């Protein structure tokens, strides 16, 4: 049998299962999650080298998003994020003020950065998420290395699922002035925990 015919077969089996009211059809449901920003269980973090010396860590404090997770077929999972770039916080007010201006994040003109996934592949223990990242009005495809964290019921009656994604983006590609040879790119770490709807 050719690969192209397989989805059809799967569909036929699922349709049959649904028609017969088999419990197996419930597990094929795509789970929908809202990212738990309300209680601060998700974060958009970055770090960048300070010249030849240390690291500066920071966050975007205000963002929102949703994701889906298909337990049967993880490749059908996806995520959408909206990040308010004015919420940049590197724990230094004057630096953050400069980061918001037109040399860097240009937040008055482009207040929202977005990420929309285009593909997700799960391997043994690892996963990769690709998608379009829009920052400073520039959209580029980027790839996250994803670590699957926990999932299951929490003590308060909700069902949660969490992931952590890391990537590195070159600043110039997004029209942002870089900080010299050691700091041409910034590392992003997204901690995403969602509550199932």
Partner 1 sequence: MHWRNTEECYGAVAVALHWLMAILVVGLFALGVYMRSLTYHDAWYIRGPYLHKSVGLLLLGLLAARLVWRFVSPPPRVQLTLTPLVRRFSGLVHVVFYVLLFAIMLSGYLISTADGRPIEVFGWFAIPATLTGIPRQADLAGQVHLMLGYGVIAVAVVHALAALKHQFVDHDDTLLRMLGCRAFR
Structure-token pair, residue 169: 């983006």
User: Which residue's CB is nearer to partner 1, number 97 or number 172?
Assistant: 97
Task: State in angstroms the smallest separation of the CB of 29 from partner 1.
Answer: 40
- Contact (CB, 8 A) for 36 and 42: yes
Is residue 52 close enough to count as binding partner 1 by CB under 8 A? no
d(CA 59, CA 160): 23
Is residue 179 close enough to count as binding partner 1 by CB under 8 A? yes
Q: How many residues does the chain have?
A: 197
Task: State in angstroms the smallest separation of the CB of 89 from partner 1.
Answer: 9
Residue of the chain from 19, 93, 155, 156 that contacts partner 1 (CB under 8 A): 93
Judged by phi (left if over 0) then psi (alpha if -120 to 50, else beta), residue 55 lies in: beta
Residue of the chain from 70, 96, 128, 147 that contacts partner 1 (CB under 8 A): 96
Report the run of H or E that residue 19 belongs to, with start and end.
Answer: helix 6-19
Residue of the chain from 4, 94, 109, 123 that contacts partner 1 (CB under 8 A): 94
Is residue 91 close enough to count as binding partner 1 by CB under 8 A? yes
């Amino acid at each position: 049998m050719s690969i192209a015919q397989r989805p059809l077969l799967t569909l036929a089996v699922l349709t049959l299962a649904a028609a017969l009211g088999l419990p197996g059809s419930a597990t094929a449901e795509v789970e929908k999650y809202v990212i738990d920003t309300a209680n601060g269980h998700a974060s958009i973090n970055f770090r960048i080298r300070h010249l030849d010396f240390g690291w500066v860590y920071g966050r975007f404090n205000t963002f929102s998003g949703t994701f889906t997770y298909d337990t049967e077929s993880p490749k059908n999972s996806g995520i959408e994020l909206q990040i308010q770039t004015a919420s940049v916080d590197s724990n230094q007010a004057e630096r953050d003020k400069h980061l918001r201006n037109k040399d860097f994040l240009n937040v008055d003109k482009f207040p929202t950065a977005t990420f929309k996934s285009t593909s997700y592949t799960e391997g043994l223990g690892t996963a990769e998420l690709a998608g379009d990242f829009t920052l400073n009005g520039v959209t580029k495809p980027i790839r996250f290395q994803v670590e699957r964290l926990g999932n299951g019921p929490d003590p308060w009656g909700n069902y949660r699922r969490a992931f952590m994604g890391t990537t590195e983006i070159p600043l110039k590609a997004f029209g942002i002035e870089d900080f010299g040879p050691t700091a041409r790119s910034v590392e992003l770490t997204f901690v995403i925990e969602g509550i199932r709807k």
